[in-house]
Amino acid sequence: MRRGVLLALASAVVMVLLWVMNCSGPQPVVTAVRLTEPTSVDAPYRVEVELLNRWRGHGEVAVTVRLRDPGSGRRVVEERHVSLEGNERVVLVVELLAPPGRYEPEVTVQYPLP
């Protein structure tokens, strides 16, 4: 009797563990960010973001790209949604229209989506 209860409990724990491992979403991280200034007055700033999913889970993540000018305090923000597969590396290019400035890029990635 006692052995049967322990076996059932162990089976339940293993099933929950397998479910969590197979059904959990991505673990995204930003591995690189590069800012390219506009080539002309009307052209946008380009921010190239490299994302890495450090897990085998897949899903959609929110990527928020900010340009911040420390001198003026001006901020320009764009958000994109990206679908990541397990252990996938992706490069995302975001174009932002902003007045001339000395911008610094800031990028955050969020899962699950808000």
Q: What is the pLDDT of residues 60-109, one digit of tens each?
A: 999 999 999 999 999 999 999 999 999 999 999 999 999 999 999 999 99
Fold of 25-110: Immunoglobulin-like (2.60.40)
Residue 22: other Cβ atoms inside 10 A: 9
- Nearest Cα neighbor of 46 from 1, 113, 91 is 91
Rounded to whole angstroms, the Cα distance separating 88 from 29 reads 11
Give the pTM. 0.81
* CB contact at 8 A, 110 and 61: yes
Domain ranges of the chain: 25-110
pLDDT digits (tens, 9 = 90+) for 101-110: 999 999 999 9
Which pLDDT belongs to residue 4? 75
